[in-house]
Each structure stands twice: as C-alpha cells, then as structure tokens.
Amino acid sequence: MTYQAPLLPSPFRCHRGGEIVGGQIAYETWGTLNPTKSNSVLIFTGLSPSAHAASSPADADSGWWEQLIGAGAALDTHRFHIICVNSLGSCFGSSGPASINPLTSVRYGDTFPDISIEDVAAGGRAVLDHLGIERAALIVGPSLGGSAVLAFAALHPGRARRLISISGTMAASAHAIALRSIQREAVRNDPIKGLRLARKLGTVTYRSAAELAARFGRAASSGGHDFAVQDYLDQQADKFTKTFDADSYLTLSRAIDLFDLNAHGDPTVLFQRAELESALVIGVEQDALFTIDEQTRIAAALRAGGIPTQLERVDSVAGHDAFLADQPLFAAIIARWLQDT
Amino acid sequence: MTYQAPLLPSPFRCHRGGEIVGGQIAYETWGTLNPTKSNSVLIFTGLSPSAHAASSPADADSGWWEQLIGAGAALDTHRFHIICVNSLGSCFGSSGPASINPLTSVRYGDTFPDISIEDVAAGGRAVLDHLGIERAALIVGPSLGGSAVLAFAALHPGRARRLISISGTMAASAHAIALRSIQREAVRNDPIKGLRLARKLGTVTYRSAAELAARFGRAASSGGHDFAVQDYLDQQADKFTKTFDADSYLTLSRAIDLFDLNAHGDPTVLFQRAELESALVIGVEQDALFTIDEQTRIAAALRAGGIPTQLERVDSVAGHDAFLADQPLFAAIIARWLQDT
C-alpha cells in the first residue's frame, strides 16, 4: 500500500537552502510494526525507483526489490516491518519538480529547490517520526539510497540500529560526476530526447562491458539500428521515459553529485556518534560508477568509527545494477549477515 | 605541407556500396622519399585529427603527434618519408559529408555514402599509388587508425613491410558500440548541442576515472558549473566543435562500429597473406574503449598469421588518449622496436 501524507515539517528547509511547504513523502510498507515499534526496516531507493519495492495485496505488481522482500525472504515480512520511501525530489508521490506547489498552485518544474542526499535522508526520518518509530532496526539502500543510508546514520544519530549500504558513495568521483553532468546537459537540451539519451548512457554505465559483450556482442539489430545492443538501449529508454519526470531526473542526478559526507565533518567522527550496532557494506567489483574502492572506503570509515562492519565484494557482470539484476546474490548476503549479527 | 588531389579512383566504390566521384584524399608529408621509394611511413589517424601530425616549414603549428615525428624522433625524418592521411569521410581536406559533391555542386551532408574502415585504408593506398610507392616501410595508426592499419594489411597484401597498431580493434565491442551510438544519437538530435555532448562523452571514455580523480577530484567549478571536471568537459567540447563537422563525426563514428575484419575471412589467414615482416601492437591497460584484451587478440591473430609480433602493454591513466597525452612513452616503445627489428 502506498501512503502519502504531508509528512515533512512545514516549511521544510532544504539542506542547500530553499523551502518546501506542505511537503509530502510517499512510502509503502510490508509486514507488521511490532508493539515496541522496534522491527522496522527503512529502505531508501536508487535514483529512479518508486517506493514499490515489492508486491503486496494492495498492489500485485512486482517491485524493484521483489526477491528480497516477503515472507521468509532476506527482508522477512514475518519478522520485519518494512518501509520503502520515495525520495524527496522524485515523481512517484513524494514532493518534487513534477508536483504542484501549494503556494502557487502550479507545477514546481525547475523552481523546485535543489535537493541533496541529506534531504532524501530527512524524508526517511519524517516517515519514522510520522509512524512514531524512535529507532529503525535497519536502514538499507542501494546506489543513491546507499548514500542516503550513510547520510541518515551520520545526521540522525540513534535513529537506526544497523545499516546496509550497497554501491553508494560518501562523495561522488570526478568520473561519475562527469558522466552525470553529461546526462543532465542532454536533458536540459531537450527534456524528451535528452531523457532518452541520459537513460541510455545510464544503462551503459550501470552495466559492464563484459555483460554487453556476452548478451549482445555484435549481433545485428532487429529494430532499425545496426546492432542489437542499440535495440536494448532503446528498450531501456522507452521504459524509463514513460514513467520518469525530466525535472526529477535533473534534481536527483545532481543531488548525488553534490553530496559530500565530509562536509559534515570527519566521517569517522560522524559514525562514532551514530549509535550503530553493526554495518554491512556491499559493493560490486565491476561497478564503474560507484567503484569497489569507494565501498572499501565506506567500510573503513565505519570501522574507524568503532562500528563492527562487514564488507562484501560481489562479482557480477551486471555492474552497478547487480542489486537489481542479481537479487538472489544480495538476498543471500543480507540474510546471512542478519543471521550472524 | 598538405597536399590534396583527386587521388581516389573515380568513381570510387565504397565498401558498403555507394560511389564517390572525384574523391580527394588530403595528406601531409615530412622527410624525403628515397630513390627506391622504400622509406615511407604511412600514418592513419584517430577519428578526429587532420593529416597535420607534426609541424613543418610550411605549417609551424604543432601537430597531433608532434613528439613522435621529426629529425631524430622515433619516426625520424632523416630516415623516413612520413605520410599522414586525412581519413576519407573526415573534414580536413579529404572528401566527406562537408565536401561539395561535384555531381550536384552542393554539400554532400547526409547523402555522403556510408564509409567503412576499409575505405579509410583504401584512401591510404591511393596516396601510395599516387606517389608511386609500391610498398610502405611501415604503416602505423592509433584508435580508428589502428583498425585502418589492420584493414590495410589484410586487404592490400604486400603494400607494407611492417605495421604498428595502437589501441585499435578488429571488431568493436558491444560496449564501445553502445557508447558511440549514444554519441551519434545526440548529434542527430541536434548537430550543434549534440556534438558538444558527444565530445564530452568521448572525453570521459577516452580518459580514465583515475586521471579525472587526480586532476579534478571534487574541485569547484570556475565556469558556472558545480565542479571543475565540468569546466574541463566544456573546454574539450569547445575545441572540438570549432573545427569538426557533425556529419563527418556521424560518418567516422559509425565506420568504427561497422568494421569487422572477420567479414573478410579468418584474420589469421588474412595476416598470413599480408607479407608483413613484423608487427608491433600497443595497448593501454586503462583503455575502457579499445581494451587491452582487444590488443592481445590482435597480437595473437598476427602471430597466428606467422608474423613476428611484439605486444606492448602501456600503463597510463590517460587511457585511450595515452597516444596523445603520453607521447614520449609511445615514442620510446616505437624507437626501440624500430631499432630491434
């Protein structure tokens, strides 16, 4: 079930200035909150997904993390009360550029304030506040969501017992910034054709050269291009541009670039104060966008902060997208870690 | 000195069909052709350079391979007669989409025939024919030019004694095709803004993440962007779009994708017939676009064809662009190989 309510403090002061009045955060839940409100798992998403992480009686469509959430799954709905939040700035129920500004009754568009990962984390905290949950049992997120998890832990100490950060970053690399800035330039040039280009480039950077070679090689196109890999990029662009808002894309893409955990102090000190019992960091060797070295640095900072931290290096040709493409692999790692710690 | 003459057989039948009437190939030379016409080095270029590989009395501007060509340099003008050809389809004197079609007296634009790497190689052969050179002492080329060297050797047996292929490919990978198809889509969407985007994406793929991290990291922009790496991409786009024609870009980018040496038969058999005395293959470990594995396969095919072949693996954070950015490294390798063989 998707819930949407005016959950943000109003006015909500964004991390980079700007205010949102009557801000909403869409979220979805699975499982049951226990009487002590101590069994919640708070999930932050990557740039593009909605809060629909898994199917439910209210919405039978498969979610983006369908194989990780459910009865008996790694994130077990018999044990946990699972919450997934749609990022502030996105276009699936949470306030964003595609929303109507209640002060003007017109769509925000590019007048929506600059959003940072800190604000995405604050959106998750607002949902916990709304539900009266003092402390989440676990916060978890991949990609942008992995960074949001780190921001949440650092900036809302005591509000989570444990964390799982997957393929995130404490501060984006010049290479990733360069690629995302090109994607945003494409969208600013032409919101329709440019969003297609941006998603195609995203797809190439989310996967690996080895996977494209194995899946497509130099096979011929059946869609009017030269090569089958071009058909694949078309399909990815089609899927994405049907549902995603160009201004939300600009907002969230830039939010990842601008995030720098170091701006809040030494991450080691931030994590020392975070009151975390344990942490799991998962990275993918073949991830070209949020590299395995960045995952190693996250784990090192958590450990330096005194938090027992497990680092898992996943081998997957799906690259950055492995958390979507190789869900059983991630489910197994998470299930084992939850059992062992 | 740049020479430009109607050098192609007329009509010239392109590898993929289509004809060019009165086709021209621009080329430049350094050093002196010896009486037996046996000391020529034929250079093919990457996608974007002109035939101006080095300065000369007639043109004092630095060339794109300035540090490799000259008196006493690796490609020694006291010893060699050096020829660099502008690729057919380019826009620096050779016939291409930006040229006037002599049959219609209007600019070819997108009516210029599809060009393949085989045609680029044929352009080099036409220059040799024009100069009465039966056999080049050496053919050499980086990137697109590396593939052109392989095509020349395979399709014009006996016309070269030795070859150096740098960061080329016998058949582009799905990953490289995907990236170039995105660049071409950007240009087709908008020849001006899209060519900027294409060059920016090219720049990111030509260099390495390690280099961008070291040079720019998360330093702030001084040009109205968020980050300095975005200023750098702007500069690269500015330089490129001032001189390069969008239709030539489409033509030569697609030419690389379409090239497949295997279409002419088993490369081993092709190289067996090539009458080459020796070969040098140079690749860069950090090259994300024409990978070191592709260089290994090229060297293996040459060796299987009975050609004594040296494979040099260069370590350079400049990635695919190392042949431009780290010229002394390449000069040293080439000088040593020329001395030893």
> What mean pLDDT do residues A280-289 have?
97
- Sketch the domain layout of chain B as residue ranges: 2-172+260-340, 175-252
- From A79's Cα to the closest Cα of chain B, the distance in A is 42
Average pLDDT value over all residues in chain B:
96
A181 touches chain B (CB under 8 A): yes
CB A184 within 8 A of CB B236: no
Whether B341 shows a pLDDT value over 90: the answer reads: no
Chain A interface, mutation test: which of B115, B170, B180, B182, most A Cβ atoms within 10 Å? B182
**Is pLDDT above 70 for A1?**
no
State whether residue A26 is helix, strand or coil: strand
Mutate to test the interface with A, among B114, B116, B177 (most CBs of A within 10 A): B177
> Nearest chain A Cα to B233, which residue?
A178
Transcribe B62-86 into DSSP letters: --TTTTTEETTSSEETTT-EEEEEP
Top residue of B147, B184, B190, B197 to mutate, by most chain A CBs within 10 Å, is: B197
Beta strands in B50-197 (DSSP E): 69-70, 75-76, 81-85, 100-101, 106-107, 138-142, 162-166
Which residues make beta-bridge pairs with A310? A280
| SS3 of residue B186 by DSSP | helix
Cα angle, residue B324 at apex, residues B139 and B3 outer, rounded to 5° = 50
Q: Which residues of A175-208 are buried (b: 16+ CB within 10 A; e: fewer)?
A: bbbbbbbbbbbbbebbbebbbbbbbbbbbbbbbb
Q: How far is CA B126 from CA A250, B49, B91, B275, in A?
A: 50, 19, 18, 19
Q: What are phi and psi of B2, to 5 degrees?
A: -95, 130
Closest chain A residue to B237, measured at CA: A182
Task: Look at A189 and B189 and tell me if their CB atoms are within 8 Å.
Answer: yes
Q: Which B-chain residues 294-333 have CB contacts (< 8 A) with chain A? A: none
Matching residue, tokens 């017109």: A106
**For residue A239, which phi and psi values (nearest 5 degrees)?**
-60, -45
A227 and B175 within 8 Å at the Cβ level: the answer is no
Any B CB within 8 A of A292 CB? no
Please tell me if residue A263 touches chain B, with a CB cutoff of 8 Å. no
**CB contact at 8 A, B298 and B168:** yes
Is B258 near chain A, with CB under 8 Å?
A: yes
Q: Is B257 in contact with A177 (Cβ distance < 8 A)?
A: no
> To which residue do tokens 């395995």 refer?
A292
Give the torsion sign (CA, A297, A17, A42, A97).
Answer: negative
Contact flag A197-B197 (C-beta cutoff 8 Å): yes
On whether any CB of chain A is under 8 Å from the CB of B193, the answer is yes
Residue numbers of B annotated as active site: 143, 287, 320
Shortest CA gap B97–chain A (Å): 20
pTM higher than the cut 0.90 = yes
Q: What are phi and psi of B201, to 5 degrees?
A: -65, -40
Query: How many angstroms separate the CA atoms of A285 and A287, rounded?
Result: 6
B-chain residues within 8 Å CB-CB of A173?
209, 212-213
Which residue among the candidates A15, A52, A156, A320 is catalytic per the annotation? A320
Count other Cβ atoms within 10 Å, centred on residue A170: 20
Q: Is residue A297 pLDDT above 90, yes or no? A: yes
- What integer pLDDT is reported at residue B1 of this predicted model? 61
For B254, the closest chain A residue by CA position comes to A226
DSSP, residue by residue, B17-77: S-EESS--EEEEEES---TTS--EEEE---SS--S--S-BTTB-S--TTTTTEETTSSEET
Q: Which of B189, B197, B229 sits opposite A177 (nearest CB)?
A: B229
In the predicted model, what is the mean pLDDT of residues A171-187?
Answer: 98
Distances (CA, A) of B77 to B30, B57, B82, B164: 6, 13, 7, 17
pLDDT for the residue A69 = 98
pLDDT score for B6: 66
CA angle, residues A232, A237, A238, in degrees to nearest 5: 95
Compare CB distances from A178 to B171, B229, B291 and report the shortest one's residue: B229
Amino acid at A237: A
- Average pLDDT, stretch A172-181? 98
Distances (CA, A) of A102 to A21, A96, A110, A197, A262: 7, 12, 15, 32, 34
Q: Is B187 on the interface with A (CB under 8 A)?
A: no
CB contact under 8 A, A204 and B229: no
Provide Rg for chain A, Cα atoms: 19
Q: Could you give the CA distance from residue B170 to residue B33 in angstroms, rounded to a whole number? A: 31
Q: Which residues, 6+ apart, have CB-to-CB distance to A53 below 8 Å?
A: A28, A30, A43, A45, A63, A64, A65, A66, A68, A69, A82, A84
| Structure token pair of residue B145 | 């030019």
Using an 8 Å Cβ cutoff, are B88 and B44 in contact?
no
For chain B, give the percent of residues with pLDDT over 70: 99
CB < 8 Å to A226, chain B: 177, 181, 254, 257-258
Q: Which of A287, A316, A321, A326 is catalytic?
A: A287
CB contact A230 to B (< 8 Å): yes
Pick the CATH number of B175-252 from 3.90.940.20, 1.10.1740.110, 1.20.1180.10, 3.30.360.10: 1.10.1740.110
Q: Catalytic annotation on A143? A: yes
How many other β-carbons are positioned within 10 Å of the β-carbon of residue B310? 18
Q: Which among A201, A218, A291 is the nearest to B174, CB-wise?
A: A218
- Cα(A181)–Cα(A186) distance, integer angstroms: 9
Positive or negative, the Cα torsion across A126, A130, A131, A133?
Answer: positive
Q: Does domain B2-172+260-340 have CATH number 3.50.50.60?
A: no
Decide if A182 and B172 are in contact by the 8 Å CB cutoff: no
ipTM given for this complex: 0.96
Length of chain A (residues): 341
Answer yes or no: is pLDDT of B3 > 90: no
Query: For residue A3, is pLDDT > 90?
Result: no
As a three-state string, the secondary structure of A323-338 is: HHHCHHHHHHHHHHHH
Please say whether the beta carbons of A64 and A324 come within 8 A: yes
- When pLDDT is averaged across residues B266-273 and rounded to a whole number, the result is 98
Q: What is the mean pLDDT of chain A?
A: 96
Q: Which of B196, B216, B288 sits opposite A174 (nearest CB)?
A: B216
CA B67 to chain centre: 17
Sheet bearing B162-166, strands edge to edge: B2-5, B25-30, B81-85, B40-43, B138-142, B162-166, B278-284, B309-314
Q: Are strands A138-142 and A40-44 parallel, antiparallel or unpaired?
A: parallel
Query: Confidence band (pLDDT; 50, 70, 90) for A299?
Result: very high
Half-sphere exposure of B166 (CA within 13 A, CB side): 24
| Closest Cβ opposite residue B178 in set A174, A204, A260 | A204
Handedness of CA A297, B233, A322, A93 (dihedral sign): positive
What is the spatial distance between Cα B267 and Cα B300, in angstroms, rounded to a whole number? 10
Interface mutation target, options B215, B218, B232, chain A, most CBs of A under 10 Å: B218
Average pLDDT over residues A49-61: 95
Phi, psi of A15 (to 5 degrees): -60, -35
Say yes or no for a CB contact (<8 Å) between B174 and A258: no
With CA atoms as reference, report the closest residue to A136 among A110, A164, A115, A158.
A158
Q: According to the model, what pLDDT value does residue B138 have?
A: 98
Peptide bond into A11 cis (omega under 30): yes
A189 and B185: CB-CB below 8 Å? Answer: no
Q: Check CB contact under 8 Å for B212 and A173.
A: yes
What token pair was written down for A197?
A: 């280009």
Residue B331 structure tokens: 């000069």
Report CB contact under 8 Å: A174, B218: yes
**Residue A58 CB-density burial (10 A; 0-12 exposed, 13-18 middle, 19+ buried):** exposed
Q: Is A181 a catalytic residue?
A: no
With an 8 Å Cβ cutoff, are A200 and B190 in contact? no
Q: Is B2 a residue whose pLDDT tops 80?
A: no
Which of B205, B201, B168 has the alpha carbon at shortest distance from B184?
B201
The residue of A196, A218, A235, A241 whose CB has the most chain B CBs within 10 angstroms, and thus the best one to mutate to test that interface, is: A218
Q: Nearest C-alpha of chain B: how many angstroms from A86?
A: 26
The H or E element spanning position A140 is strand A138-142
On whether any CB of chain B is under 8 Å from the CB of A174, the answer is yes
Task: Please tell me which residue in A94, A116, A143, A278 is annotated as part of the active site.
Answer: A143
pLDDT in tens, A320-341: 999 999 999 999 999 999 998 8
Q: How far apart are the C-alpha atoms of B89 and A257, rounded to whole Å?
A: 38
Closest to A237 measured CA to CA, from A294, A192, A278, A205: A192
Average pLDDT of span A121-133: 96
CA closest to A188 among chain B residues: B193
- For the record, the structure tokens of B3 come out as 């020479």
Is-contact B141 B167, C-beta < 8 A? no
Report the gap between the CA of A201 and the closest CA in chain B (Å).
7
**Domain A2-170+261-340 carries which CATH code?**
3.40.50.1820
pLDDT in tens, B136-163: 999 999 999 999 999 999 999 999 999 9
Encode pLDDT of B63-106 as tens digits. Answer: 999 999 999 999 999 999 999 999 999 999 999 999 999 999 99
Categorize the per-residue pLDDT at A7 as very low, low, confident or very high, splitting at 50, 70 and 90: confident
Q: Please check the confidence at residue A2 and state whether its pLDDT lies above 70.
A: no
